[in-house]
């Protein structure tokens, strides 16, 4: 019995590194680097935007290890992300102000993936973005009811829900006292519902029909090769709260 106790104690002590001895690093926490280039489907170099990535959850306890990162796209279309812990990563690209769809917002299952491991400490990926249809929405406001403070509590929001369930708000690209122009980037060849939300404002479609006071949606489908349409809405007055 005493011999057994001594053997166990010796084994436990021998597993502790002695002074000056460095324990072998956990290979699962080895840092790897993802780099590459970003281009459009027509071969155009994407010269600005952000590449981001995040590690797929697999139940690992990684502590403070870096599991997500982002980097700006250089003028030549290249990018290089900071070192990341080993694992599987999905690559996302956002190029604001361009015609290229965010690869993780639309058809996210088709977005590039990379696996970093002790056998593959770095990875190079050539990302190709799909072109989207840039739809314009002209909001006429002849009564200037959208002017800040004129109608207390009035607001207007325009946007679209993406495949990844993210709500992308339309960007204002032009504005005057009596009109605003918004733009939304959507995929070609798919019927996409553009959501319209507002409070205390009565909206009229180009057909003359008054939109429902509840949240409305406008279906839009842009076939490949065709010019995206410009939708027209008019603030026709103030609605009851």
Q: What is the pLDDT of residues 19-54, one digit of tens each?
A: 444 334 444 555 789 999 999 999 999 999 999 999
Of 185, 190, 212, the closest CA to residue 201 belongs to: 212
Fold of 25-129: Protocatechuate 3,4-Dioxygenase, subunit A (2.60.130)
Rounded Cα distance, 230 and 188, in Å: 15
Per-residue model confidence (pLDDT) at position 197: 86
Instruction: Note the maximum CA span of the chain.
Output: 96
Question: Which residues, 6 or more positions from 99, have their beta carbon under 8 angstroms from its beta carbon?
Answer: 40, 131, 132, 134, 185
Contact 84, 4 (CB under 8 A): no
DSSP lists the bridge partners of residue 94 as 50
Question: Which residues, 6 or more positions from 133, have their beta carbon under 8 angstroms from its beta carbon?
Answer: 185, 186, 187, 188, 222, 228
Contact 232, 142 (CB under 8 A): no
Q: Are strands 122-129 and 31-40 parallel, antiparallel or unpaired?
A: parallel
Per-residue model confidence (pLDDT) at position 24: 40
CATH of 132-238 given 2.60.40, 2.30.30, 1.10.10, 2.80.10: 2.60.40
What is the number of other CB atoms lying within 10 angstroms of the CB of residue 122?
Answer: 13
Per-residue model confidence (pLDDT) at position 30: 59
What is the number of other CB atoms lying within 10 angstroms of the CB of residue 151?
Answer: 17
Per-residue pLDDT of 221-231, as tens digits, reads 999 999 999 99
Q: How far from 106 is each of 110, 128, 159, CA to CA, in Å? A: 9, 13, 14
Per-residue model confidence (pLDDT) at position 179: 95
Q: For the chain, what are the domain ranges? A: 25-129, 132-238
Of 227, 216, 226, 218, the closest CA to residue 191 belongs to: 218
Q: Which two tokens stand for residue 197?
A: 């939300």
Q: What's this model's pTM, rounded to 2 decimal places?
A: 0.78
Q: What angle do CA 230, 231, 233 make, to 5 degrees?
A: 140
Q: Which two tokens stand for residue 40?
A: 């459009």
25-129 and 132-238, same CATH topology: no
Rounded Cα distance, 15 and 127, in Å: 47
Q: How far from 59 is each of 56, 91, 190, CA to CA, in Å? A: 9, 20, 36
Per-residue pLDDT of 151-202, as tens digits, reads 666 778 899 999 999 999 999 999 998 999 999 999 999 999 999 988 778 8
């Amino acid at each position: 019995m005493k011999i057994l106790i001594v053997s166990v104690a010796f084994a436990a002590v021998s597993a502790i590194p002695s002074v000056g001895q460095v324990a072998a690093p956990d290979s699962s926490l080895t840092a790897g680097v993802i780099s590459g280039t970003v281009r459009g489907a027509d071969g155009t170099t994407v010269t600005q935007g952000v590449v981001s990535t995040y590690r797929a959850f697999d139940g690992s306890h990684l502590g403070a290890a870096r599991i997500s990162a982002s980097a700006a796209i250089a003028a030549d279309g290249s990018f290089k992300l900071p070192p990341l812990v080993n694992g599987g990563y999905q690559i996302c690209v956002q190029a604001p102000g361009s015609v290229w769809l965010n690869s993780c917002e639309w058809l996210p299952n088709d977005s590039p993936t990379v696996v970093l491991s002790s056998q593959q400490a770095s990875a190079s990926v050539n990302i190709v973005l799909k072109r989207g249809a840039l739809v314009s929405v002209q909001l006429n406001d002849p009564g200037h009811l959208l002017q800040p403070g004129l109608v207390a509590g009035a607001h207007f929001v325009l946007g679209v829900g993406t495949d990844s369930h993210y709500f992308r708000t339309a960007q204002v690209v032009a504005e005057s006292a009596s009109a605003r122009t918004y733009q939304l980037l959507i995929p070609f060849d798919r019927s996409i519902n553009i959501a319209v939300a507002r409070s205390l404002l009565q909206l009229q479609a180009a057909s003359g029909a008054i939109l429902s006071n509840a949240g409305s949606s406008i279906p839009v489908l842009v076939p490949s090769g065709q010019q995206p349409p410009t939708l027209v809405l008019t603030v026709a007055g103030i609605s009851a709260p």
